[in-house]
Amino acid sequence: MKGVLVVGGGVLGFCTALALQDRGRTVTLLDEGATAKPASWGNAGHIAVEQVEPLASPATLRAVPGRLLAADDALSLRWRDLRHWLPFGIRLALASRPRRFQAGKMALSGLMAGAMPAWQTLVAGLGRPALLIRDGHYVIWDTAASAARGLARIQAGDHGTATVHTLEPGEGEALTRLLGRTPAGAVRLRGSGHIAGHDLLFDAMRGRFLERGGVLLRGRAVRLAPGEGRVRVRVAGGADLNPEQVVVAAGVASKDLMEGIGHRVPMIAERGYHLQTPAGDWPADLPPLVFEDRALIVTRFRDYLRASSFVEFSHPDSPADPAKWERLRQRIRDLGLPFDLPGTPWMGCRPTLPDYLPAIGRSAHAPGLLYAFGHQHLGLTLGPVTASLVADLAMGQGAGPAPFDLSRFG
């Protein structure tokens, strides 16, 4: 089999396939298709260039006890999944020590600096610049006390290439009309953005990939095996693929594939929930709204609204918790948002490593094997810039970013 096989049909997979084609490579993409929507399809659509601080941090550790005791918090650790999240939690605590956090922040900031330029290059290459909307986002607080705390934290924080602005009169009036009340506090961050629509983006990437001669295979990779200078990829159903190079960009499924050839991948499924509804009366020009006190983000896309919340550390195969969708509906009701309920529910698994940094590099266990996964909440944001790094590695250019190499886990 000639060329490169990319395993995974999420944003990382398609961005990597396109970046490899940009460099003249023959590319096949292995995608499970409609049987499993990727986590990058179900997110809030936010290009979060402001999130340069890994969530594995001293602040996160300090907040966990209080959040677990809260009656209605967005963080969930179910006892029946203890065997999955406890080992991960120990590693997260170790990664949250100040020195590790600072090193992680430096690495993530460097990667994030190229995120928006890479997105601009991607949509220009697709011939669809309107897929990227660079209008920032709002952060909103419910009470004067939470607004004072939140504003102080934001003003003291590092937001990468994003900048923080007080609201102009017209912005405050628009939020008041939407909410039916004046927010206790709000700021606008500029420099971030969001996509026009998930299906629009995936259709454009898939179409461009096929136009350029890419081959799209439907199937699920179940095993990797090194042999004779290449990596064989076993596909469910018994077929073997033997390409010149392989890129594993399969989200949570990457764990089993990479551990099967000797890597240690302490990944967990960080599951997220959303509700989707038609756009209705929501203003078309309003950027995403982050309701910080409710751990809720609402994004207006071209034809629909999404409300996203909740962090649930679990196993990919654990059943969804319907109570979370109902709690999400209640938060929307409490805020009085013009969001047509009950909405269409969705749950997906973010691939998360304990230091909240992605895994990007070249395998030392098998020739011709590259990987790009573990981007947690930032898969959409970092997809294009990660793809460029991986494509350079596939061309033999550079040794890969050391902070993101899997060898950091032993």
Condensed to tens digits (0 to 9), the pLDDT of residues 339-390 reads 999 999 999 999 999 999 999 999 999 989 999 999 999 999 999 999 999 9
Please calculate the CA angle 387-385-214 and round it to the nearest 5 degrees.
30
Spell out the domains of the chain, with CATH numbers in brackets.
4-409 (3.50.50.60)
Question: Does the pLDDT at position 227 exceed 80?
Answer: no
Choice among 50-59, 71-80, 165-174, 368-377 with the minimum mean pLDDT: 71-80
Average pLDDT, rounded, for the chain: 92
Q: pTM above the 0.85 mark?
A: yes
Low-confidence winner among 151-160, 306-315, 346-355 (lowest mean pLDDT): 306-315
HSE, CB side, 13 Å, CA atoms: give it for residue 275: 24
Q: What is the pLDDT of residues 86-145, one digit of tens each?
A: 888 899 999 999 999 999 999 999 999 999 999 999 999 999 999 999 999 999 999 999
- Sequence-distant (6+) residues with CB within 8 A of 180 are 336
**Out of 35-49, 68-82, 387-401, which region has the weakest mean confidence (pLDDT)?**
68-82
Q: Name the band, by pLDDT with cuts 50, 70 and 90, for residue 69.
A: very low
Is residue 68 pLDDT above 70, yes or no?
no
| pLDDT of 147 above 90 | yes
Q: Answer left, alpha or beta for residue 55, where phi above 0 means left and psi between -120 and 50 means alpha.
A: alpha
